[in-house]
Amino acid sequence: MQDWGAVAAKRLEIIAKASEPGPGVTRLPFGPEHEAALEIMTEWMTAAGCNVTLDAAGTLIGRREGPAGAPTLLIGSHQDSVRLGGAFDGIMGVALGCLALEALGDQTLPCSVEVLAFADEEGVRFPTALIGPRALAGTLDPGVFAMQDKAGVSLGAALTSFGGDPEGTAALARDPAQIAGYLELHIEQGPVLEAADKPLGVVTAISGIERHRVTIIGEAGHAGTVPMEMRHDALLAASDLVRGVHDMARAHGIRATVGQLDVSPNVVNAIPARVDLTIEIRAAEDPARAAMGAALGPLCARIATATATQVEIEKTYAQPAQACDAALREGLTAAIRKATGEAAPELPSGATHDASAMADLCPIAMLFVRCKGGISHNPAEYASAGDMGQAVSALAAFLSDYVPKA
């Protein structure tokens, strides 16, 4: 009997070499490393019995036909990585999707299945992302093709040189009536499954995101001559805000982060006069995210009064949560039980995925695979062969038992 987990581990080891030099994996879209990865992924898809094509947005598609007239089930993830990233993020989902089809052999599928390897989910090379799934969903803004990387190469030029066609991306939009759904297998990128001692989990929703920019104005002064009670210390106000954001997120049961913080004048012997910082809130349920976002203004006002500073806050970005489809989730849960003999925990995804954009086209679902230490976007990122093998078995079981909606 084939050890699909071992096969997955070997394949990921090989494709990890399609990388810029340096620790871990650096594979950006539309470069020579991406081109090398295409050749390897084409071999995977061919071994799975798929016909392989590259679409106008640079998405590699392996299609295996089902019964005539049946809808198409999409399985995918992204081939690209962050700089100095790991060997599993994104690309594992492509590998496991191919292996599940390969494991089924010549078995007749209940519908047509496509494995998708999207070019750019991370948004590292260009200041945009999710090009492939947005093209399929019909939500891609053609203005993104004018965006440039640090070398001055436009996205449109890079895509064209890679064999894509910016002008042809509009025609990629799929008919929702012909798409049964989208499944994405992905490492968890967090510690929940490992803490629960479970190899696989079913995602309930992809968290919504809200970002705020905060400016705190105090007054610079000599660090040795201004009494503590007479200071207007912007950094003191910022520290109160950082703690307040942390406590508020815990109280709301969601996640929030102060990720950027710039202090001025930032010298050893002066009271900080200004602090600029960012707050990001993520939650699987939009009302909880909105409630915390609304509470930030009053929190800032209280801190301003207590520290004799000015605190200004502005919302800069908001993205709604995407709920995973109940029927697809139930199917994955049953398939995991069939493959592992155990119930799978449910958990939200705090990270954005290709599925976020595919939700504008069709029902979505995600299966998470445990990763060691919850580490991701790091050369130390790791998922075991055993866990990946169980994911292949679960996906194969899902495909065997899947009944497309009439």
Is the residue at 23 inside a domain?
yes
Flag whether 252 is marked binding.
no
Flag whether 34 is marked binding.
no
Residues 195 and 107 placed together within one structural domain of the fold: yes
**Chain segment 353-376, per-residue pLDDT in tens:** 999 999 999 999 999 999 999 999
23: cis peptide before it, omega within 30°? no
CA proximity to 136, closest of 158, 161, 119? 119
pLDDT value of position 377: 97
pLDDT value of position 134: 98
- For the cut 90, the answer to whether the pLDDT of residue 199 exceeds it is yes
Question: What CATH number corresponds to the domain at position 230?
Answer: 3.30.70.360
pLDDT value of position 164: 98
Instruction: Give me the number of domains the chain comprises.
Output: 2
Residues 214 and 306 placed together within one structural domain of the fold: yes
Is the distance from CB of 221 to CB of 234 less than 8 angstroms?
Answer: no
Average confidence (pLDDT) over 181-195: 98
Average confidence (pLDDT) over 327-341: 97
Residues 155 and 254 placed together within one structural domain of the fold: no
Q: Which residue has the tokens 């965006």?
A: 147
pTM of the model as a whole: 0.91
3-state SS class at 328 = helix
Q: Which residue has the tokens 């040189």?
A: 161
Residues 186 and 98 placed together within one structural domain of the fold: yes
Residue 169 lies in domain: 4-207+321-401
pLDDT value of position 406: 65
Is the residue at 256 inside a domain?
yes
Residues 110 and 192 placed together within one structural domain of the fold: yes
**Chain segment 57-97, per-residue pLDDT in tens:** 999 999 999 999 999 999 999 999 999 999 999 999 999 99
Residues 387 and 327 placed together within one structural domain of the fold: yes
Q: Which residue has the tokens 């445990």?
A: 370
Is the residue at 21 inside a domain?
yes
**Chain segment 105-137, per-residue pLDDT in tens:** 999 999 999 999 999 999 999 999 999 999 999
Flag whether 269 is marked binding.
yes
Flag whether 387 is marked binding.
no
Is the residue at 406 inside a domain?
no
Residues 165 and 262 placed together within one structural domain of the fold: no
Residues 384 and 243 placed together within one structural domain of the fold: no
Domain end (from 266, 284, 319): 319
pLDDT value of position 213: 97
CA proximity to 277, closest of 214, 209, 211? 214
Q: At what angle do helices 385-401 and 326-340 cross, to 10 degrees?
A: 120
Round the average pLDDT of the chain to a whole number and report it.
97
State the Cα torsion 4-336-114-29 to the nearest 10°.
-70
Flag whether 211 is marked binding.
yes
Residues 301 and 243 placed together within one structural domain of the fold: yes
- For the cut 70, the answer to whether the pLDDT of residue 235 exceeds it is yes
Average confidence (pLDDT) over 292-317: 98
Flag whether 186 is marked binding.
yes
- For the cut 70, the answer to whether the pLDDT of residue 210 exceeds it is yes
Domain end (from 276, 293, 319): 319
Residues 73 and 107 placed together within one structural domain of the fold: yes
Residues in the chain, overall count: 406
- For the cut 90, the answer to whether the pLDDT of residue 321 exceeds it is yes
Q: What are phi and psi of 110, to 5 degrees?
A: -75, -15
pLDDT band at 49 (very low <50, low <70, confident <90, very high): very high
- For the cut 90, the answer to whether the pLDDT of residue 328 exceeds it is yes
pLDDT band at 402 (very low <50, low <70, confident <90, very high): very high
Is the residue at 68 inside a domain?
yes
Domain end (from 319, 335, 353): 319
Residues 203 and 289 placed together within one structural domain of the fold: no
Residues 250 and 118 placed together within one structural domain of the fold: no
Question: What CATH number corresponds to the domain at position 397?
Answer: 3.40.630.10
pLDDT value of position 1: 78
Is the distance from CB of 212 to CB of 314 less than 8 angstroms?
Answer: yes
- For the cut 80, the answer to whether the pLDDT of residue 35 exceeds it is yes
Is the residue at 363 inside a domain?
yes
Percent of the chain with pLDDT over 70: 100
- For the cut 90, the answer to whether the pLDDT of residue 405 exceeds it is no
pLDDT value of position 65: 97
Residues with Cβ within 8 Å of 269's Cβ and at least 6 positions away in sequence, in order, are: 222, 223, 224
